[in-house]
Chains A and B, each alone.
Chain A
Amino acid sequence: MSDDSTSVGTGTSSESGPRAFETVYHRYVPHKTGLPHLPTYLRELWLRREFAFETSKASMRGATTNTFFGQAWLVLNPLLLALVYYLLITVISQNARTSGWEYFAHLTGGLFVFYFFQGSVNNAAGSVVNAGGLVLNTSFPRLLLPLAAVRTGLLRFLPTLPVYLIFHILAGNAWTWVTFLVAPIFLGLLAVFASGLAALFAALQVYFRDMTAFLPYIMRIWLYSSPVLWTIEMIQGRPTAAAIMPFNPLYSLIGGYNQALQEGVLPSAQIWLLAVAWAVGSFVLGSWFFMARERDFAVRI
């Protein structure tokens, strides 16, 4: 007996008939904790991608239709936050390095992208549990739910990019090919990393419903320990910080993104390697954990 459910299309679809349907053969047998049949799963995932797109679009539209500023909140929110942090840091540190447009540009660029990460993971954490009825009554690859949340995060992030570019100009930062080519790559890596964490937290949330209570604190600590309020250059010459930092995934991911976007500097090979390793590692582990458990979700919700 095979350890998995398989479905095989026997391909008897005919477009000519009154009902053009494809007879798909499904077979469900018991599974132990393990991955579903991966080729089938990935094919389903791909076929159902439109559903994830539509879900994320729907949650975008649904969330902002009731407010006065509507979509403008997507920009206003992180901008106000950047202002708060700017005031806080310039007042506390009174350091010449942390005042002026250049630092503000760094702060906005970093905060915007961190907010993308945080928003994606936060939304994804509740995605499976909040989908409730959908999970109970419809059969689809559940991985679509956290992935849709990451897509929502990305869509919410995009309008903030032009805002950052305004500060980029005000700060007189450099424009090089790196800004336009390498920064998107790091953004992509961050999205992949976020997808992995999204899947992990979405699955954990099913088993421990108070996961969401911890998340804000995890995220807050993560924000302070990532190169958002500070830059990679600031910690050079500090051996302890330099030794610890590679273990923070966002050090390489957001740090590399900032270097490329804000300074137009090509990140070092070490940053590249770390960023790719974290992104791939997180995605593989997170989605593996999720897929191995997703057939249990319908019972747990």
Chain B
Amino acid sequence: MISLSASEQARDAASGEQRADRFSVGGTFSVRSDRSRGPAPARPAFDYRDNTGRTDLAASVQNLSVTYRTRFERVPTFKKAITRRQRSVVEIEALRGVTFDVPVGTTMGIIGSNGAGKSTLLRTLAGILSPTEGRVEVWGRASTLLALGVGFNINLSGRENVRLGGLAAGLSRREVEERAEEIAEWAELGEFIDAPLRTYSSGMFSRLAFSVAVHMRPDILMVDEALSAGDAKFRAKADAKMAELRDSARAMFLVSHGLGSIQEMCTDCLWLHKGRVMMHASPVECIKAYTEFVKVGRTPSTMEDL
């Protein structure tokens, strides 16, 4: 499903949205205070398509909206729950009516400014956040590279952390044991694999974390920025690994501000702005429209990775 929007249309949509968002404070997320919230506007009923039995799709998102209700408190406590005079609850509409399909074999780039809802979209696809509205279907086990080194314990050795990271990612013990050696080797840690993580340099830490993440062999791979692990040599190795993963995974999602890598790696592209899909087209078209939209132009700094 390819939307035909050209960049003018996209800009129109954005300015229309700004008019509708009169309560917006702050540029990135559209935040509305609770009190200004009237009765929920009746959204037109969405005609959901039935995807039962389809095998050509890796993921399908229909009419997805995600709204957080959050408070501008640093930490929620009893005292604040009791003494709060006015409820400073705000709603953050991270995603609004997002619809797209991802056929098997797609590498989907997701671009957009900070707070556009890119990470939220990935988390919803991974099943970490649940939709407020809409339907998300995923065929396959999703592995997120949303953050590296999640679940690591710095007092344990690299090998033990490999086991922990693998199990956290949903592998069985047998699968983890099978891969442990491979992971250690790929990370090029040598004898340090049996030393506690706190003795690692930051480069070694990220090499190990990256190695764990890419060896999980997920059906659907999600990569959120920050894969800048290690030195130039390791970068090259990491890029090669990513290309290999892209070929073996059913589908891959890549979120990046480095438009160059999106253009290079992706076969399809989604441009999000304030939670809405501005454009769903080829990477070249999306990047062109997006760079025009934010008026930064294709400067070396935007095309360069990170």
On A, residues with C-beta under 8 Å from B are: 1, 5, 19, 21-31, 47-48, 50-51, 54-55, 58-59, 61-63, 65-66, 131, 133-140, 207-211, 295, 298-300
Q: Among A23, A30, A210, A299, which residue has its beta carbon within 8 angstroms of that of B77?
A: A210
List CB contacts (< 8 Å) of B172-231 with chain A: 172-173, 196, 217, 219
Whether the pair B128, A136 counts as a contact (CB closer than 8 A) is: yes
Residues of B that sit less than 8 Å from A by CB? 48, 68-70, 75-79, 81, 123-124, 126-142, 144, 146-147, 150-151, 153-156, 160, 163-164, 167-170, 172-173, 196, 217, 219, 248
Chain A residues in 8 Å Cβ range of B129: 295, 298-299
Give Cα distance in the complex from A227 to B135, angstroms.
53
Q: Among B124, B155, B196, B219, which residue has its beta carbon within 8 angstroms of that of A21?
A: B219
Number of inter-chain CB pairs below 8 Å = 136
Contacts of B136 in A (CB 8 A): 26-29
Q: Is the CB of A30 within 8 A of B123?
A: no
Known: A30-B133, A66-B155. 11 other contacts (CB 8 A): A24-B140, A26-B127, A27-B138, A29-B131, A58-B153, A59-B153, A136-B147, A138-B151, A138-B168, A139-B170, A210-B78
Closest to A26 in B: B138
20 contacts between A and B (CB under 8 A): A21-B219, A22-B141, A27-B135, A29-B134, A29-B135, A30-B131, A31-B130, A48-B167, A51-B170, A55-B151, A61-B155, A61-B160, A62-B153, A62-B154, A66-B155, A134-B168, A136-B123, A138-B168, A298-B128, A299-B69
| Closest B residue to A138 using CB positions | B168
| Contact assessment for A61 and B172 in the assembled complex, using a CB-CB cutoff below 8 Å | no
Contact A209-B77, Cβ < 8 Å, known A30-B133, A136-B146: yes
A21–B160 CB distance below 8 A: no
**Cβ-closest chain B residue relative to A58:** B153
Task: Kindly state the separation between the CA atoms of A109 and B167 in the bound complex, as whole angstroms.
Answer: 36
| Complex-state Cα separation, A82 to B101, whole angstroms | 64
Interfacial chain A residues near B69, Cβ < 8 Å: 299
Query: Ordered nearest first, which 10 A-B pairs have the shortest CB separation?
Result: A62-B155, A51-B167, A139-B127, A137-B146, A28-B136, A210-B77, A26-B138, A209-B75, A137-B147, A134-B151
- Within the complex, the shortest CB–CB distance from A213 to chain B, in Å, comes to 9
The answer to whether A133 and B147 have CB atoms under 8 Å apart is: yes
Residues on A with beta carbons closer than 8 Å to the beta carbon of B68: 299
A209-B217 in contact (CB<8A): no
Chain B residues closer than 8 Å to A59, beta-carbon distance: 153
Query: Is the pair B196, A58 in contact by a Cβ cutoff of 8 Å?
Result: no
Bound state CA distance, A59 and B155, in angstroms? 9
* CB–CB B128/A138 < 8 A: yes
Q: CB distance B173 to A50 under 8 Å?
A: yes
A19 — which chain B residues lie within 8 A by C-beta? Answer: 217, 248
| Chain A: CB-nearest residue to B218 | A21
Nearest Cβ distance between residue A205 and chain B, in whole angstroms?
10
B224 (CB) vs chain A CBs: closest residue:
A137
B79, B160, B169: which contacts A58 (Cβ < 8 A)? B160
Which of A47, A62, A136, A140 has a CB less than 8 Å from the CB of B156?
A62
Residue from B128, B131, B156 whose CB has the most chain A CB atoms within 10 Å: B128
Provide the residues of chain A in CB contact with B144, threshold 8 Å.
137-139
Contact of B155 among A50, A65, A137, A210 (CB under 8 A): A65
Check B168 against A21 for contact (C-beta < 8 Å).
no
Closest B residue to A12 by beta carbon equals B55
Q: CB within 8 A of B140: which of A1, A23, A48, A131? A: A23
- Complexed CA–CA distance, A200 and B248 (Å): 42
Interface centre among B48, B79, B167 (most CB of A within 10 A): B167
B30 smallest CB distance to A (angstroms): 16
Most buried by B among A22, A137, A300: A137
Q: Are A140 and B168 in contact (CB under 8 A)?
A: yes
Residues of A within 8 A of B140 (CB): 21, 23-24
Q: Cβ of A47: which chain B residues have Cβ within 8 Å of it? A: 172
